[in-house]
């Protein structure tokens, strides 16, 4: 197995049982493993709610470390839809040409900052600053605020040695409060100002709701985007033939991105809370207990994806659920896809070869199972076109 591969720990359980029971801080979770069941449960918000105690649908649970409800992902219809109607147009801006020019500029500059080093750490020197700078474009705040975001590290709620560090988010909350005050005094063309002036379901949005939206904007696309960028470069380093193919066939880049997103599935799963006694593929789910929709497992379901453990760059049929499914599909998906498309374009134009020097893997533990999500660090070196 190569160093850039991501094995699927769920294969056996998915085929045999369809679910996997794990404990999480004494609040058990039944992980749903098959694509068909994941989709069914994702649709069925009347039975499986997202609007539980804030933090409870996240696994590991964040109920002990935050009180703010993240919006819209911790809401059910119809209120969920009212917030999406407000937010969707803003989060579709990455389709616009001038947005893409700004992102491209950021990617080129980031690449230029590492290309002359003999080796660099892909996360610290590339993916983290890239994600942070791209986020200033998504929120349309000044570019230099990225330096603050970079200083927070790769996860907004999790520190290096404590995955549930309640103090960690204080810096983000302080930034948000300060930004809200600043934008009340001086509105502009940014996400904060949009929210401060918006009504949802006929009511002015509260500061607490704005905070919930911004926290999700930071948290949802943080480690996920960083892992996606890092894992992609690791993959291209170990597969020079794929880099050559993407260079020669720009028309398959879009499909290749979907395939890499399927294969890496940066977000392993997302929970729901059962409103009533229910059943998932013949296994009982008790009222008020948790299930999780395991995107990572569903994306390797051999009954849907041929050769699910292989990266097939131009895979034709690819109904993956890496961005979630149904009404809760990822709000930041257009931004993430655009970033990946521009990254592949720039790498194909400028990078001749990537060398994988060394890495320390980032492994999640779910019950007895271990799942690689990315790397704690990844040393690479680049050979650029002269
Ligand atoms: C939550 C979650 C959202 C959670 C779409 O995912 O991402 C996690 O990384 C955060 O810890 O709070 O925002």
pLDDT in tens, 116-158: 899 999 999 999 999 999 999 999 999 999 999 999 988 776 6
Average pLDDT of the residues in 61-69: 93
256/269 Cα distance (integer angstroms): 22
Q: What is the pTM of this model?
A: 0.97
71 CB near ligand 1 (under 6 Å): no
Confidence of residue 159 (pLDDT cuts 50, 70, 90): low
225 CB near ligand 1 (under 6 Å): no
Q: Kindly give the distance from the C-alpha atom of residue 244 to the centroid of ligand 1, in angstroms, as a whole number.
A: 35
Q: What is the pLDDT of residue 157?
A: 67
Q: In what helix (H) or strand (E) does residue 86 lie, and over which residues does it extend? A: helix 79-91
Q: Retrieve residue 315's tokens.
A: 């895979």
Average pLDDT of the residues in 32-42: 98
- Look at residue 162 and tell me whether its pLDDT is greater than 80: no
219/135 Cα distance (integer angstroms): 11
Average pLDDT of the residues in 78-107: 98
**Residue range 11-384 in CATH 1.20.1260.10:** no
Q: Retrieve residue 310's tokens.
A: 């292989």
Q: Kindly give the distance from the C-alpha atom of residue 168 to the centroid of ligand 1, in angstroms, as a whole number.
A: 14
User: What's the Cα-to-Cα distance from 380 to each of 17, 109, 114, 233, rounded to whole Å?
Assistant: 40, 17, 10, 9
Q: What is the pLDDT of residue 155?
A: 79
Contact by Cβ (8 Å): 73, 52:
no
- Look at residue 160 and tell me whether its pLDDT is greater than 70: no
Pocket test for ligand 1, best of 69, 216, 224, 296 (most atoms within 8 A of CB): 216
157 CB near ligand 1 (under 6 Å): yes
| Burial category of 312 from C-beta neighbours within 10 Å (exposed 0-12, middle 13-18, buried 19 and up) | middle
Average pLDDT, the chain: 96
Q: What is the pLDDT of residue 281?
A: 86
65 CB near ligand 1 (under 6 Å): no
Q: What is the pLDDT of residue 236?
A: 98
pLDDT in tens, 337-362: 999 999 999 999 999 999 999 999 99
Confidence of residue 184 (pLDDT cuts 50, 70, 90): very high
Q: Kindly give the distance from the C-alpha atom of residue 11 to the centroid of ligand 1, in angstroms, as a whole number.
A: 25
Give 186's DSSP letter.
Answer: S
* CA-nearest residue, atom 4 of ligand 1: 219
Query: What is the DSSP annotation of 275-323?
Result: SS-EEETTEEE-TT-EEEE-HHHHTT-TTTSSSTTS--TT-S-----TT
Confidence of residue 161 (pLDDT cuts 50, 70, 90): low
* Atom in ligand 1 nearest the alpha carbon of residue 219: 13
pLDDT in tens, 238-292: 999 999 999 999 999 999 999 999 999 999 999 999 999 999 989 999 999 999 9
User: What's the Cα-to-Cα distance from 123 to each of 7, 128, 215, 343, 369, rounded to whole Å?
Assistant: 21, 5, 22, 15, 25
SS3 category, 178: helix
62 CB near ligand 1 (under 6 Å): yes
Comparing C-alpha atoms, which of 344, 325, 331 is closest to residue 260?
344
Comparing C-alpha atoms, which of 153, 147, 142 is closest to residue 102?
142
């Amino acid at each position: 197995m190569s160093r850039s591969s991501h094995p699927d720990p769920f294969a056996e359980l998915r085929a045999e049982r369809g679910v996997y029971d794990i404990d999480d801080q004494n609040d058990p979770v039944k992980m749903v493993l098959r694509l068909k069941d994941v989709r069914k449960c994702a649709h069925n918000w009347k039975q499986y709610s997202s609007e539980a105690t804030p933090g409870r649908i996240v696994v590991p649970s964040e109920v002990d470390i935050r009180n703010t409800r993240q919006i819209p992902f911790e809401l059910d219809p119809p209120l969920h839809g009212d917030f999406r109607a407000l937010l969707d147009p803003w989060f579709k801006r990455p389709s616009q040409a001038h947005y893409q020019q700004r992102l491209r500029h950021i990617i080129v500059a980031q690449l230029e900052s590492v290309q002359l080093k003999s080796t660099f750490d892909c996360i610290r020197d590339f993916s983290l600053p890239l994600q942070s700078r791209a986020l200033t474009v998504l929120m349309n705040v000044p570019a230099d605020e990225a330096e603050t975001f970079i200083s927070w590290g790769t996860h907004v709620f999790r520190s290096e040695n404590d995955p549930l560090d309640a103090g960690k988010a204080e810096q983000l909350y302080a930034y948000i409060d300060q930004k809200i005050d600043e934008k009340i005094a001086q509105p502009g063309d940014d996400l904060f100002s949009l929210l401060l002036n918006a009504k949802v379901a006929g009511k002015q949005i509260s500061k607490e709701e704005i905070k919930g939206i911004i926290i999700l904007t930071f948290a949802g696309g943080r480690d996920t985007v960083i892992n996606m960028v890092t894992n992609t470069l690791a993959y291209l380093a170990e597969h020079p033939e794929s880099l050559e193919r993407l260079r020669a066939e720009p028309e398959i880049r879009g499909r290749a991105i979907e395939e890499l997103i399927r294969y890496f599935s940066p977000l392993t799963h997302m929970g729901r809370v059962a409103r009533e006694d229910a059943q998932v593929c013949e296994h009982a789910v008790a009222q008020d207990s948790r299930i999780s929709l395991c995107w990572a497992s569903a994306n390797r379901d051999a009954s849907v994806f041929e050769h699910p453990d292989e990266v097939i760059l131009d895979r034709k049929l690819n109904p993956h659920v890496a961005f979630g499914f149904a009404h809760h599909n990822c709000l930041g998906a257009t931004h993430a896809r655009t970033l990946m498309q521009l990254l592949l374009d720039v790498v194909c134009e400028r990078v001749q070869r990537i060398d994988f020097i060394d890495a320390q893997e980032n492994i999640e533990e779910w019950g007895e199972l271990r799942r690689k999500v990315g790397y704690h660090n990844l040393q690479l070196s680049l050979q650029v076109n002269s």
